[in-house]
Amino acid sequence: MTSDLTMAAPTQHERNWAAVAHLSAVLTLLIAISTAGLGHILGLLVPLGMYLYFSNRSRYVAYHALQATVFQAVAGIVYVVAAALAGALIAVAWTVSGVLTVLLVGIVLIPLALGLTLAAGVELVALPALALFYSLRGAYLIEMGQEFDYPLIGPLVARSMGLG
Task: Return per-residue pLDDT of the chain as tens, 164 residues.
Answer: 555 554 478 999 999 999 999 999 999 999 999 998 888 899 999 999 999 999 999 999 999 999 999 999 999 999 999 999 999 999 999 999 999 988 888 888 899 999 999 999 999 999 999 999 999 999 999 999 999 999 999 999 999 998 86
* Structural domain contains residue 161: no
CA atoms of 3 and 41, how far apart (whole Å) = 30
Q: What is the pLDDT of residue 6?
A: 47
CA atoms within 13 A on the CB side of 90: 16
> Is 18 contained in some domain?
yes
Answer yes or no: is 164 within a domain: no
Residue numbers of the domain that contains 56 = 9-155
Is residue 4 assigned to a domain?
A: no
Q: How far apart are CA 2 and CA 163, in angstroms?
A: 9
Q: What is the pTM of this model?
A: 0.88
Structural domain includes residue 27:
yes
Answer whether residue 57 is part of any domain: yes
Please tell me the total count of domains within the chain. Answer: 1
The answer to whether position 160 is within a domain reads: no
Q: Determine the pLDDT at residue 37.
A: 83
Residue 3 located in a structural domain: no
